[in-house]
Structure 1
Amino acid sequence: MAALELRHLRYLIAVAERGNFTRAAEDLHISQPTLSQQIRQLERAVGVQLLDRTGRTVQLTDAGAVYTEHARRALRDLDAAERAVHDVQDLSRGHLRLGVTPTFTAYLIGPLVAELHTRFPGIGLTLTETTQDRIEAALLADDLDLGVAFAGAHPAGITATPLFTETLSLVVGGSRTPEPPKALAVQALQEQQLALLSGDFATRGHIDAYFAEHRIEPRITVEANTIQALTEIVQRTSVATVLPDAITHDHPHLVPVLLDPPLPARTVTLLDRRGAYRSAAARAFTRLTHDVVRVRGYTPAPAARGYMDVEARRP
């Protein structure tokens, strides 16, 4: 029987994902004949046909689908084992793979990374901004260590630890005053020009649901797919926006105005894969995140208060 090597598993997964030997070979930076030969070696080693090559695209056979599922799991476990072997408990070095949904890059990631770099300068970070469902899929595939997203329904295998409560407010341009502005009745938004996030943001869906509940048809003059664009527009025009009020903490020329009734709050959570190996870097980042949330004065979620009480009692 031909010897089975890890590259055979990676080659099979690449072909299964691409459905084409040529494209898979390009991804793997090997020739197509070499890839075909390696896959046939694998099929001889396991004694069954893993791929159906008769159609326009290459498909997994029933046996191939089962084998590929186990191959993915084996490679994921081996990658985790390698990270565990190289994990340095004193945090003099290490690496963290973090996924966040887009709004958090506007107010949370900067303070988190600054604190990480200050405390643990030897830890590298790979930061991915993407949608919550992709973060959860990447955690399950062991492509991420941690994710920052919202509470809600999560796939099986995902653990969500509450961090804090995020509130949305109307945000206008102007200078801060000692007294916060009075709450604005939601009906007043009928006459207010708004710049809002585009519909591919979960935050926009949250805002639209609030408007629909209160039968408000807002005057949306600008839609943008970046928060930075909205904050720049609001600072320079009379147009307002609706964003997490935490964004205004680091922008002195943005003023949060509470709406009456207020928009429903959301719980921000730290996501990981249940049962996954947690590196020293991931454990340190989890503690650091709770510290930053507390220092910046974000409203802690109820379960997060319990977490911080436990941490405070630790020696």
Structure 2
Amino acid sequence: MELRQLHYFLTLCEHLHFSRAAEALGISQPTLSQQIKVLEDEIGMPLFDRIGKRTMKTAAGDILEKQGKAIQQAVANVQAELKDLQQEHRGHLRVAVLPSDLDYRLPPILTHFYESFPHVSLAIISSVHIVQRVLANEVDIGVALAGEVCEQLCVEQFYEESYALFVPPTHELASASFVTPTQIATLPMMLYPTGYVGRQLLERWAQAQGIQFTMLLETGTVTSLFELARRGVGVTIQPLRLGTHFQDHLIALPIHPSPTRTLAIYYRKDKYLSQAAQKFIEILLTHFN
């Protein structure tokens, strides 16, 4: 079995349609059919059932697909590791992070990273679907909230933090030592939109406390949330440490009991982690801890 044949086979598994798979591969349909036939003859059993216009994998096809993906990833790992060695701290690194609220923490991390890897092309991708993007190999590392468990991923929890209620100095609660869920329920609340991970965490906390937020406004930009709170439009609940960037204009009130979140690093177990990726993780852990 050649790697080229395996690539053809896995592409056909993805499309389950000879014409579309051949188009994706940039070859003719007869060529693809002939290569699959050679592979089936070598294995000694059919890999696909062709029922009318439908193409379906056989049991043998399922087995080869599972093992073939592992082989393909192993080859990619070897190539990546050799390239990593050859390039001497060059290449590309893709990191997915939570939208908005990590923005203020990234500059010192990136500055430190580029002191060690000045020639690495780094892409920071804001996403609410971080685990899915790591699994799909769209990014090398993901930084997200802990909680999602997947046997294909390594998950390193590295930082836990509490949330606080942010109000302007003129707010009636500004001098309080803390606020309760019951008090929060009556306030005009401004949060991330529904579907954002941080919003889901706060909604679960509110449900556990037996309250509902009185929603005033939703926006995906943390800067807007803090600026609107500063102007007295409403209040917002955000990670306490994040508010240090706005401490001259807002009061951070502890919440009892407080929502908390744990940040985690996600990466694939079966994928080679480049020296640049390892260094990025090391710097991230040092920065937060």
- Under TM normalisation by the shorter chain, which class is it? 0.7 to 0.9
Partner of 2:15: 18
In structure 2, the residue corresponding to 1:167 is in which secondary structure?
strand
d(CA) in 2 for partners of 1:50, 1:37: 13
Show the counterpart of 2:189.
194
Deviates more, 1:196-205 or 1:20-29: 20-29
**CA deviation string 1:223-279 (max 9, x = no partner):** 334545544544555122222233334446763523431423222122334475332
TM-score by length of 1: 0.75
Going from structure 1 to structure 2, the CA distance change for 1:135 and 1:280 (only over 3 Å counts) comes to same
Identity %: 27
Return the offset for 1:60: 1.3
SS in 2 for 1:278: coil
2:67 aligned to which of 58, 70, 74: 70
Larger mean CA deviation between 73-82 and 89-98 belongs to 89-98
Which residue is 1:308 aligned to? none
Are residues 1:155 and 2:150 paired? yes
How far apart are 1:191 and its partner, in Å?
3.0
How many angstroms does 1:44 deviate by? 3.4
Alignment partner for residue 239 of structure 1, among 234, 239, 242?
234
Number of the residue aligned with 2:5: 8
What runs of 5+ residues in structure 2 fail to find an aligned partner?
none
Instruction: Report the CA distance between 1:144 and its aligned residue.
Output: 4.4
The aligned residue for residue 258 of structure 1 is 253
Q: 1:37 to 1:169 in 2, by over 3 A?
A: farther
- C-alpha distance in 2, partners of 1:275/1:6? 18
Q: When the two structures are aligned, how many residues end up with a matched partner?
A: 285
1:137 corresponding residue in structure 2: 135
Closer/same/farther in 2, CA of residues 151 and 28 from structure 1, 3 Å limit: same
Q: Does 1:80 align with 2:88?
A: no
Aligned residue for 2:92? 95
Say if 1:173 and 1:238, in contact at 8 Å, map to a contact too: no
Structure 1: gaps of 5 or more residues: 294-299, 301-315
Instruction: Find the residue that maps to 2:5 and give its secondary structure.
Output: helix
Separation in 1, partners of 2:175, 2:282? 32
CA distance in 2, matches of 1:25, 1:87: 32
Change (3 A) 1:56 1:213: same
Does the residue aligned with 1:96 lie in a helix, a strand or coil?
strand
- Report how far residue 220 of structure 1 moved: 0.6
For 1:18, the aligned partner's letter is H
Query: Contact between 1:102 and 1:130, CA under 8 Å: does it hold in 2?
Result: yes
Q: Secondary structure at the match of 2:112?
A: helix
TM-score for the superposition, normalised by structure 2: 0.81
Q: Is the 8 A contact 1:100 1:149 kept in 2?
A: yes
CA distance in 2 between counterparts of 1:106 and 1:252 reads 16
Q: 1:74 deviation in Å?
A: 0.5
1:49-87 Cα distance to aligned partner (Å, 9 max, x none): 212231554321110110011110011001100111122
Q: Which residue of 1 aligns with 2:141?
A: 146
Q: Deviations over 1:106-161 (max 9, x none)?
A: 344444333322432112224443424415534xxx66443222333522253332
Q: Distance in 1 between matches of 2:110 and 2:143?
A: 13
- Contact 2:163–2:260 at 8 Å: present in 1 too? yes
Alignment RMSD (CA, Å): 3.3
Return the alpha-carbon distance in structure 1 between the equivalents of residues 196 and 46 of structure 2: 44
**Does 1:43 find its partner at 2:65?**
no
Partner residue in 2 for 1:116:
113
